Amino acid sequence: MKNFLNNESAARTCSLIILGFLAAISFTACTQTPPIDPNELVVEASIAELQSAIIDGRITCREVVQAYLDRIEAYDRSTGLNAITELNPRALQRADSLDQALAAGETPGPLFCAPLLVKDNFDTYDLPTTGGSIALAGSIPPDDAFMVRRIREAGAIVIAKTNMAEWAFSPRQTVSSSYDTTANAYAPDRTPAGSSGGTASGVAASFGVAGLGSDTGNSIRGPSSHLSLAGIRSTIGLTSRDGVIPLAFDRDIAGPMARSVEDVARIFNVVAGYDPADPYTEAGKDLKENDYTSFLDPEALKGKRLGVLNVFADPERSDSMVYARFEDALQDLREQGAEIVDFEIDNMRELMRAGLWCGRFRYDMHNYLLSLGADAPMQDVMEVLQTGEYGPDVEGSLRSISEAETEIIHPAERAEPCPDFADHPGRQALLSAVVRSMDEAGIDAFIFPSWSYPPAPLTRANEEYRGDNSQGLIPAAGLPAITVPMGFTYEDLPAGLQIAGRPYSEGLLFGLAYAYEQGTQHRRPPKGFSVIGK
């Protein structure tokens, strides 16, 4: 193996570790050890494990990236998974530059050599971004989305883009007119949910160490639940959506999805924070924690009071196997020191009927298309109804939007105005009711199954869409919520536990999810994606 740390640079690296500059990376050694098989290392690997192996001299960043590329080549098409839309042809070149920087004694970034999968609605200056639509096929934005820029600056490698539901319309399945259908890595005849199903199935199959998705109503937490991943939807205002193709800008959230809570927290450290290009982040400008990994305590559940949100945890409206896993989770939480109580939100049903959805896709897409400059393939997304550049799964929604949004104006300027989140009386009333109800119940967070039913068959993903508990409350109120693996139903179908809290309580949520994850160890890799050559 290439000796990429000379004595001087190795000593310098060790000194940095001793001084604490690399504490967040958790390296455990600075001496060279025998090389390892990269194909074995990358399966289910964490960011820290990859980085430790590189620092130890057991592997290079190039070998790590090549191993992931080999897995994509071996498994994505042959299994019918179809998670990957575009490979980054410069991924190996970027890996070489990181190896060279490390050999020169440079301090690596917190995500150095973390090969990440990025959903096809994140702008990437060097790869097409289609939003799942054939109308944007080949569209290469002029710059990176805020989060993509941040992960690259932190040393991560965008190894590939991933498939998504067209225009992010569907929480049910991941079908695009640009790249077709993504399957569930645990059951190829099942849906990964939508719209971030490509990222979810790709991460589950170890095509990357983690990934980025977006969530307007479900699309980080739902696919993460269906693929035995952890995924977080942040408080609205804590993370930027700049450069992410919008569905509804007053609800859209972007963020990380990974095989462990720790890796979600590591990436969240990098991507959260103020962005002048996203006015919503002004509200959360000073509310980001210094280090979300500092909350990762295996004892974090001790003494916590958790409320079971009964409206989403109803055995009469759940698959019996999923509900059984939820009951198991409640017992596990109790055994880890949490107090479990019933929880209701005052007037939730009435508040949820108060016209909380602002249809704004046409307006938001117009602003996005303007950001593409002269190379934009259109200025009004509704042009696709004339060109026929859409898939059958979205035709009805596009026609409904065309009828409802007859002008390209901000929803607040319509005859019946629909203001942004901070000024929306109905959404603010709902948010106040949630926080007030939590305070009155004396709870730290509330919990429910992320989905009450297992992943539906691909052939009936629309007809059997039921049990999605991520829609409605959490996005409408702008609350943070994290999903974490809760076990499996019917042998191999994942289920997820969702933990939600007060605005800007992400640190607490990370701690609770991590303690539950470490205490239960539910995640296991999907069959059919073993180590190459084994």
CA distances from 220 to 13, 63, 137, 251, 484 (A): 36, 29, 23, 13, 11
Contact 210, 201 (CB under 8 A): no
201 is annotated as an active-site residue: no
DSSP-derived 3-state class of residue 230: strand
Distance of alpha carbon 70 from alpha carbon 86, whole angstroms: 14
Of 52, 170, 219, 318, the catalytic one is 219
302 is annotated as an active-site residue: no
Distance of alpha carbon 187 from alpha carbon 356, whole angstroms: 35
Tokens of 315: 């055995």
Q: How far does the chain reach from its first CA to its final CA, in angstroms?
A: 22
Please work out, in degrees rounded to the nearest 5, the angle formed at the alpha carbon of residue 124 by the alpha carbons of 123 and 125: 120
Burial of 3-12, coded b for 16+ CB within 10 Å and e otherwise, reads ebbeeeebeb
**For residue 204, which of 454, 529, 495 has the smallest C-alpha distance?**
529
Distance of alpha carbon 184 from alpha carbon 201, whole angstroms: 6
DSSP-derived 3-state class of residue 255: strand
> How does DSSP classify residue 106?
P
Say if residue 34 is exposed, middle or buried (CB neighbours under 10 Å; 0-12, 13-18, 19+). Answer: exposed
> Which residue is associated with the tokens 């109120």?
477
Strand pairing report for 305-309 and 339-343:
parallel
Of 46, 52, 119, 470, the catalytic one is 119
Strand pairing report for 253-258 and 481-489:
unpaired
Tokens of 407: 């002008």
Alpha helices per DSSP H over 336-472: 348-352, 361-371, 384-387, 395-404, 425-441
CA distances from 240 to 149, 159, 291, 411 (A): 12, 22, 18, 21
Strand pairing report for 210-215 and 230-233:
unpaired
Give rounded-to-5 percent helix, strand, coil for the chain: 40, 15, 45
Tokens of 443: 């709870």
DSSP 132-167: T-GGGTT---SS--HHHHHHHHTT-EEEEEE---GG
Contact 470, 481 (CB under 8 A): yes
119 is annotated as an active-site residue: yes
Distance of alpha carbon 60 from alpha carbon 36, whole angstroms: 10
Of 133, 195, 196, 224, the catalytic one is 195
Q: Residue 350's CB: how many other CB atoms inside 10 A?
A: 11
- Phi, psi (rounded to 5 degrees) for 214: -135, 155
Residues annotated as catalytic (active site), given as ranges: 119, 195, 219
